[in-house]
Structure 1
Amino acid sequence: MQIRPARKEDVPVILELIHDLAIYEKEPHAVKNTVEALEENLFGPHPAIFAHVAVEQGQVQGFALWFLNYSTWEGVHGIYLEDLYVRPEARGKGMGKALLRTLAGIAVERGYARVEWCVLNWNEPSIRFYKSLGAVPQDEWTTFRLTGDALSSFGSPVVSGGAA
C-alpha cells in the first residue's frame, strides 16, 4: 500500500469513489461534481482543495479530500477533511488510518492546530474508528448550512435605496 498526493490521472477514480461514498451515505443522487470541475479545483491555477490517495497493486482504493481552515483563536491553519473513503473490499488493511495519518503528519509538519471532519451520527463504524485514533467528537457544536433556495434568497443582492 502507498499513500501519495493525487495526480490528474486519478481524478476519474476519485470522482467514482465520491459517488460510492454518496451511495454509502444514502445520498446516491446528490453528487453534481464532474471530472472537469474536480480536476480544475484540484489542479487548476488556484487550487483550494487537495487530495491524497491510497494505492494498492497500482489501483486507487481510497482517498482523502481536504482543504485548509483557520483558527482565529490559535492564529494558525488547520486541515478540514471533507471526504475519507476506502472501497469496501479494501477496508481492514489500514488505508483509512494511513490516509488520516498522512494528513496529521502534514498538520504537524506545517504547524497547523488541528485536523477535523464531520461524520454522520448513524455511522457507528466510522465513529468507533475515529475514536480509536484519539479523535474527540465536538458534541457542543451544531453544523449549520445554507443551501438551495435559502442560500439564493439570503444571498441575493439587496436592492439599492431599501432599508438595511
Structure 2
Amino acid sequence: MRKISRAVAHRERRNPLGSYLRGLPAKPALFGYASLTTDYSPWRGQIWAHLDCLYVQPQVRSEGIGASLLQYAMAMAQNLGADRLEWQTPMRNERAITFCVRAGACKQAKTRFSVMI
C-alpha cells in the first residue's frame, strides 16, 4: 500500500473532524477519522474536549494514522480553548489501551452510567 498521500481536516466548531485519506488524488479512500466535542466543567471552570471517536480501518492499523489523528484531535481541542482531552475505551480493548498509554494518556478510575430515555 502507498504511504499516506494527503491529510484533510474539516474544521467545524461544533463537530471538529480530522480524517486521513489514502490513495490516488483522483480516487482517495477514507482510512480513519477522529471527532471531538467540547463541554464546560463548572467544577474546574474550564472548557474540556471529549474524543467521541478515533477509528482507523483494520488493514492500515499500526501505520501511525491513529497517532496522527490523536495529535490532530489534541491540537484542535487546544485551538477550541480546551485544557484537556478525555476519551474512553472498553476494558476488553487491550490494543486500544496500549495505544492510549503509549500516547501519554493517564487512566482515570471512573464508572460510566447511562439510562435509556
Match of 1:5 in 2: 9
TM-score w.r.t. the length of structure 1 is: 0.60
AA paired with 2:32? G
* Partner Cα distance (2:31, 2:57) in 1: 6
Cα deviation for residue 3 of structure 1 reads: 3.3
Cα deviation for residue 6 of structure 1 reads: 4.0
Give runs of aligned pairs for residues 64-83 of structure 1, distance below 5 A: 64-83=34-53
* Partner Cα distance (2:7, 2:42) in 1: 31
Match of 1:138 in 2: 108
CA offsets, 1:43-91, max 9 Å, x none? xxxx743321111222210011221122223322221111111001111
CA contact (8 A) 2:8 2:20 kept: yes
Residue 56 in 1 paired to residue 22 in 2?
yes
AA paired with 2:7? I
Find the partner of 2:76 among 106, 117, 128: 106
Cα deviation for residue 127 of structure 1 reads: 0.1
* Partner Cα distance (1:5, 1:79) in 2: 17
* Partner Cα distance (1:96, 1:108) in 2: 18
SS of match in other structure, 1:106: helix
Cα deviation for residue 137 of structure 1 reads: 1.3
* Partner Cα distance (1:71, 1:133) in 2: 24
CA offsets, 1:16-67, max 9 Å, x none? xxxxxxxxxxxxxxxxxxxxxxxxxx8xxxx743321111222210011221
AA paired with 1:53? S
CA contact (8 A) 1:66 1:83 kept: yes
* Partner Cα distance (1:124, 1:136) in 2: 15
Match of 1:125 in 2: 95
TM-score w.r.t. the length of structure 2 is: 0.81
Find the partner of 2:59 among 78, 81, 89: 89
Specify which structure has the higher proportion of strand: 2
Structure 1 unaligned regions, length at least 5: 8-41, 152-164
Cα deviation for residue 123 of structure 1 reads: 0.2
